[in-house]
Amino acid sequence: MEQRTYNQYCATARTLDLVGERWTLLLIRELLTGPKRFGDLQASLRGLGTGLLAARLKHLEREGLANKITLPPPARTPVYALTEAGEELGPAILELARWGLKWAMGEPRASETFHPGWALLGLRACFAPEAAAGLRAVYEFRVEDELFHVRVDDGTIEALHGPAQYPDATITISQQAFLRLIGQRRTFAEVVDTGDASASGDSEALRRLRGLFRLPPPRARKADQTSS
């Protein structure tokens, strides 16, 4: 299939030529949190058919945004991983996430799916680096069967799928409580205080958790707009 183009000698247009097709940016979103198997991507992107997923991955490979690699032993599993060029799309996608949390989220629609792993990008988008000054801690989050962790290092954050080897603190929360956290703009500390989540681990790491992630207040794009 011939690649569509805006035919404009413009950096924005050239970028959209590469990543503007449907599902492409969401594939990059998935790969920003680490290499993924084909099946992992398919499970996370429900609604994306096998053929289209394969085509989009080939496009990313052809354009130098992703590579197919094999994980080292003992896994030895073929996975897709972002190249340097693909990784550098991370800040742009985080800015889209921040904009969406403020201007586009509202309440979940009945037709929408939710995958707890998507929270990783949200955690990075809501991270408050000034609140993490001098903090070095690993937080493990358990959203039902999904495990992921973040490593905070003096104002920086790394977010990855899977369990942490040595977490300083562990937060356990149901998927429904997590959705309420987003919709009601609550903090992890608030949902722990109300019993909607549990937390264990180092007391200082848990105390500092209160200010690490800040959801922006929702805004209406139009004066008469209500959440839908």
**pLDDT of 6:** 94
30, burial (CB in 10 Å: exposed 0-12, middle 13-18, buried 19+): buried
Report which DSSP code applies to 184.
Answer: T
- Residue 204 corresponds to which tokens in the numbers above? 């200082």
**pLDDT of 208:** 93
CATH fold of 108-209 reads Nonspecific Lipid-transfer Protein; Chain A (3.30.1050)
Q: Element (H or E) spanning 138, and its range?
A: strand 136-143
**pLDDT of 179:** 84
Which residues are CB-neighbours of 203 under 8 A, at least 6 positions away?
none
Considering only CA atoms, which of 163, 113, 168, 162 is closest in space to residue 135? 168
CATH fold of 11-88 reads Arc Repressor Mutant, subunit A (1.10.10)
Q: Where in the chain is the domain with CATH 3.30.1050.10?
A: 108-209
Considering only CA atoms, which of 84, 92, 79, 70 is closest in space to residue 19? 92
Q: Distance between CA atoms of 200 and 122, rounded to whole angstroms?
A: 22
The sign of the CA dihedral 94, 96, 97, 103 is positive
Report which DSSP code applies to 217.
Answer: P
User: pLDDT 10s digit of each residue in the chain, 228 long?
Assistant: 567 899 999 999 999 999 999 999 999 999 998 899 999 999 999 889 999 999 999 999 999 999 999 988 887 899 999 999 999 999 999 999 999 999 998 788 888 888 888 888 888 999 999 999 999 999 999 998 889 999 999 999 999 888 999 999 999 999 888 888 887 788 888 888 888 899 999 999 999 998 899 888 889 998 766 554
- Residue 22 corresponds to which tokens in the numbers above? 């449907």
**pLDDT of 108:** 83
Q: Where in the chain is the domain with CATH 1.10.10.10?
A: 11-88
Q: Distance between CA atoms of 106 and 81, rounded to whole angstroms?
A: 32
**pLDDT of 62:** 96
